[in-house]
Amino acid sequence: MVRKNPNRSARAKRAAVSEAQGYDNQGQRPRQEVQAPPNQGQNAPNLDAIANLPAVHELIAGLIARHAAPHAGPNAAIAPNAAGGAPDNAQVGVQQGAANQDEANNEQVLMDALAENTTAQAQKEMNLLIKDAVRNGLWRRVKVVHTKELREEAAKLLLEILNFHSMQGDSAQAKALRKRWLKLNEKLVARAINEQRSYVQSRLKNVIYAYWRKNNRQMPSMELLLALIKRDFQVAGAGTADAELDPEDHEALVWWITSVLPIAAGNNSDWTPEHYHYMTVQQGHYPDKPRKLYVTDSTEAIALFIIENNYECWPAQWDAKDEHGDYPIIRKSKEPTGEDVTLENSRVSDHFCCVCTSWIPNCPL
């Protein structure tokens, strides 16, 4: 007599499910061949795309006009889905459920933080929400808050990013919640922006240190920095298949786009290889959101300003560290007149001061 294996039926069902989902009999998905995109495995952006990037005078002259119009263009393609296709319905359902849970959690954090007898833990959780919203949203739009008016406007923008459902609409309750939140958190938003700028500066310092070491203890020249932000390089055979940059210019531009700008973006998601291998700096944007750029004009400007403002003190610190260990030297760069470098008297970032230091009403950035 042959005994029936009670597990046979279960194994058969599991095998059928695995086959339907694309797994083999070892429980592994077969390897999918994905066509490599142009420039994949290379750090060099497309030369034709580089030649077509706007110069700084074009950026400034058309700043508000560009912000009112879509940024999408032939070079603004989004990287294909790494999984090789659209997610299935089950995956979409899981993601939507997680998003709904996050929203519910955020609403609870809001109510706890606005309660009359709020606790230190509730305020700490609200601070974490604020810092995350600054890092992944507001930093793209606001870098410096130096007036009370800008502080108020920045807090309102961040509240839009947080998008608390209980604050939506024009009801008296929603208006009261918004007013109370702004009163309690305006200064915290400004502090979070300052902390984010400090974070970017500390990471950018490491990038410049590596450049300084590689280039015989020399900082990138001011002329080079201006050429980088203007994209002011000669391109031999521009617009043809034989277009090419001078090797030194090419190396500098690759360094700026692939090393400096990922740091200036302020997080680990906005500007990464999956972006700069597929799109140009001024045209790369979030999917279906052509006006939400990965790298804004002010992002490049703040990187340049930070380098300029520390142009003398960073090399002095590195020289002193080589000679004396960790003995601290703290000294800001000064103008030839002896004045400290500021946003107002900056020699290079003044091209973008309309973005960095003033508020443009209804600006979509």
- Matching residue, tokens 């007149």: 337
Nearest to 358 by CA among 344, 340, 338, 345: 344
Would the pTM of this model clear 0.75, i.e. be above it? no
* Residue 351 counted as domain residue: yes
Q: Which residues pair with 295 in a beta bridge?
A: none
Q: What is the pLDDT of residue 301?
A: 94
- pLDDT surpassing 80 at residue 124: yes
Biggest CA–CA distance in the chain, Å, is: 103
Higher pLDDT, 182 or 323: 182
When pLDDT is averaged across residues 288-311 and rounded to a whole number, the result is 94
Is the Cα torsion angle 274, 278, 280, 285 positive or negative in sign?
Answer: negative
Amino acid 34: pLDDT: 32
Q: What is the per-residue pLDDT across 251-295, written as a single tens digit (0 to 9) for each?
A: 999 999 999 999 999 999 999 999 999 999 989 999 999 989 999
Task: Tell me what pLDDT residue 329 has.
Answer: 55
Structural domain count of the chain: 1
Asked if residue 156 belongs to a domain, the reply is yes
Report which of residues 344 and 209 the model is more confident about: 209
Tokens of 249: 């210019």
Query: What pLDDT, on a 0 to 100 scale, did the predictor assign at position 320?
Result: 86
How far apart, in whole angstroms, are the C-alpha atoms of residue 56 and residue 281? 13
- Residue 41: inside a domain, yes or no? no
Q: Does 216 have pLDDT greater than 90?
A: yes
First to last CA, the chain: 78
Residue 2 falls inside a structural domain:
no
Q: Which of 64, 285, 309 is nearest to 204 (CA)?
A: 309
On the question of pLDDT at 13 being above 80, the answer is no
pLDDT at 79: 33
Amino acid at 128: L
The mean predicted confidence, pLDDT, of the chain is 74
Q: Look up the domain containing 74 and give its range.
A: 47-79+91-356
In a domain, 24, yes or no: no
Distance separating alpha carbons of residues 76 and 283, to the nearest angstrom: 5
- Give me the pLDDT at residue 61, please: 38
231 lies in a domain? yes
Task: Answer whether residue 3 is part of any domain.
Answer: no
pLDDT at 68: 33
Q: Taking 70 as the threshold, does the pLDDT of residue 113 lie above it? A: yes
Collect all residues with Cβ–Cβ distance below 8 Å to 340 and sequence separation of at least 6.
332, 333, 334
Residue 223: both structure tokens together = 């002329």
What does the pLDDT look like over 233-250, one tens digit per residue? 988 887 888 888 899 999
- At 222 the pLDDT is 94
Do the beta carbons of residue 286 and residue 337 sit within 8 Å? Answer: no
Report if residue 158 sits inside a domain.
Answer: yes
